[in-house]
Amino acid sequence: MTDYRLLNYNDDNGQARPGLSVGDTVVDLESAVSAETGGKAPFSTATTLTILEKWDDALPVLEAIAAKMEAGDIETQALSSVTLNAPLLYPSAIFNAGSNYKDHQLEMGAEDEETDKSVVQPYMFLKSPAHTVIGPGAEIKIPHTSKQVDWEAELGVVIGRYGRNLTKENARSIVAGYTIFNDLSARDCGARPDWPRFKTDWFAHKSFETSAPIGPWIVPVSSIPDPYQCKIDLWVNDDHKQDANAGMMIFNIEEQIEYLSARLTLRPGDVIATGTPSGVGRPHGTFLNPGDRVKITIGGIGELSNPVVKGI
């Protein structure tokens, strides 16, 4: 089977269009799907979300197009000639796993016994999709409300089927693919002294504008049969800050899906950011500043890079 990536790229008017990439080439999915199906596609190519909503119908068509791209039987353009956008502009929801790597828990001040997974369940929170998502190359804008914006490299899980009350045994059956996620955090906005009854302000801490860089594309599960082998690395400028493996998660992907789907129906286009390993800035008092660049690589997926600027 041909390895391919589902992505968004900008047209001449700066509008996102779904595309399919194989190697260093890309095709426009609207025209490619129409040609492949004789104009009778069983799914809409309006957005990557509409493709995910009919993922089982889309899969054989995408695989056929990818095979033709690999064989040179379809006209393509160079991947380097297009500007990529976030692979999902408006995910249905973004679910984030908090403190899901033991080394990260310890660097943030947890006691060793607090990391014992036998006494806890996954800790999840939400980001606002429409307000936070940006794509590869887009600017991370430091808000005027924070002086301590921190980085967090994470493996992103993209849902492609509806799922409720799933178990660890069947949880991954609803996963369409994987992407890179940067769970930016405003560390100095996490506590609210004016609301002492509430220990953490997750909204101000996590949902500021541009706080969810995602991309550069979605790699289908067929190309990453074992996501726990994915290497995770992050650099701020030339400083290698995070160096880990997705297999180091406390609660794995199946356990996170089981926890979430016990409480609501997971939907195509949902994204689960599975937690970050150690190497964030807060333990060292180091945070992002205008002029910095954050680069994340995850094995089997690729690279997500974003410059940092002053926001409003």
Parallel/antiparallel/unpaired status of strands 271-273 and 153-159? antiparallel
What superfamily would CATH give domain 94-310? Answer: Fumarylacetoacetase-like, C-terminal domain (3.90.850.10)
What Å distances lie between residue 284 and 107, 281, 287, CA to CA? 9, 6, 9
Residue ranges, comma separated, of all CATH 3.90.850.10 domains in the chain are 94-310
Distance CA 275, CA 181 (A): 9
The pLDDT of residue 71 is above 60: yes
pLDDT (0 to 100) of residue 117: 64
β-bridge partners, 21: 5, 26
Q: What is the pLDDT of residues 242-276, one digit of tens each?
A: 999 999 999 999 999 999 999 999 999 999 999 99
The pLDDT of residue 189 is above 80: yes
Q: What is the pLDDT of residues 99-125, one digit of tens each?
A: 999 889 888 887 655 566 656 899 999
Residues 222-235 have a mean pLDDT of 97
Residues 57-83 have a mean pLDDT of 97
Helix (H, G, I), strand (E, B) or coil at 311: coil
Are the CB atoms for 166 and 255 separated by under 8 Å? no
The pLDDT of residue 133 is above 60: yes
Residues 20-45 have a mean pLDDT of 97
Residues 197-206 have a mean pLDDT of 91
Peptide linkage before 196 cis (omega within 30 of 0): no
User: Within 91-239, where are the H helices?
Assistant: 102-107, 129-132, 202-206
Q: What angle do CA 146, 151, 153 make, to 5 degrees?
A: 155
Are the CB atoms for 186 and 143 separated by under 8 Å? yes
What is the pTM (predicted TM-score) of this model?
0.96
The pLDDT of residue 68 is above 60: yes
- What value does the mean pLDDT of the chain take? 95
Helix (H, G, I), strand (E, B) or coil at 57: helix
Residue, of 161 and 117, whose pLDDT is higher:
161
